[in-house]
Amino acid sequence: MLAANLHIFLKLRMTTTDSDRNLQPLVEFREVSFIINGGRPIIDRLSLQVERGETFVLLGESGCGKTTTLKLVNRLLTPTSGKVLVEDKPTTEWDVIRLRRRTGYVIQEAGLFPHFRVEQNVALVPHLERWDEARARARVRELLSLVGMDPEKFANRYPRELSGGQRQRVGVARALAADPPLLLMDEPFGALDPLTRAALQKEFADLKTRLGKTVIFVTHDVREALLLGSRIALMDAGRIVLLETPAGFVKSENELAKAYLETLRNDFVTAP
């Protein structure tokens, strides 16, 4: 009887612990500042929480601190003060290689290795994780299909043989290869022509819904933020000046938010 009761107690405790863990934010900033050589703070006492499964958009002008914020998550940078936590653990306590393999990273122009074929680029992290060749190859083909690229047609091409949109698709596939819980995306569609960018934004929104990933997405494009974000953090001078859902952002009286929304109206104003 004692053994049976102990088994039930441990099972309940494990269930509660797992449930509590799922309720915790995947990423948290606690009063984080980042300063170089004693100058003006690039990030200034920033606090935020990124919930599991959401797309958290960092929106702002160049120099506002949004890319610096992103780099603090995977420890490309470390805070001058405060704490950044990933999966409830300070980034300074993570093994940095393990942390980065838990976070997919997508940048402008995809950052593909030009001397690697598409298949080799996508399989990079699985190979570093010592997956066997058959498993890695199957994963590459699965992901290329997922991002709309026929593996038979594209797996053996080099990045120079792809269009800009195709390179970005490969970049997303590579970020997803080891199935990380978190994706960091730094203006991934910013260098593309408007039609390709719109198509990839729609594809990414559909893909993200299917996979249920947590995403931190950097952009200066308010249209993109409204389309893709679960919540939008509007940044200025290293601080968040507004944190809202897309619906709340559109209704906000914040002057900077209103200035961004005015650019959408101006898009449709034609010269006389």
The pLDDT value given to residue 21: 53
Looking from the CA of 113 toward its CB, the CA atoms found within 13 Å total 12
What is the band of 3 on the pLDDT scale with cuts at 50, 70, 90?
A: very low
- Helix ranges restricted to H, 51-132: 66-73, 96-101, 118-122, 124-128
pLDDT, tens digit (0-9, with 9 covering 90-100), for 20-62: 556 689 999 999 999 999 899 999 999 999 999 999 999 999 9
The pLDDT value given to residue 203: 83
Residue 222 has pLDDT above 70, yes or no: yes
For helices 164-176 and 133-146, what crossing angle results, to 10°?
130
pLDDT, tens digit (0-9, with 9 covering 90-100), for 233-255: 999 999 999 999 999 999 999 99
What is the band of 109 on the pLDDT scale with cuts at 50, 70, 90?
A: low
**Three-state SS for 46?**
strand
Residue found under tokens 């960092």: 58
Residue found under tokens 């299917």: 210
On whether the CB atoms of residues 52 and 26 are closer than 8 A, the answer is yes
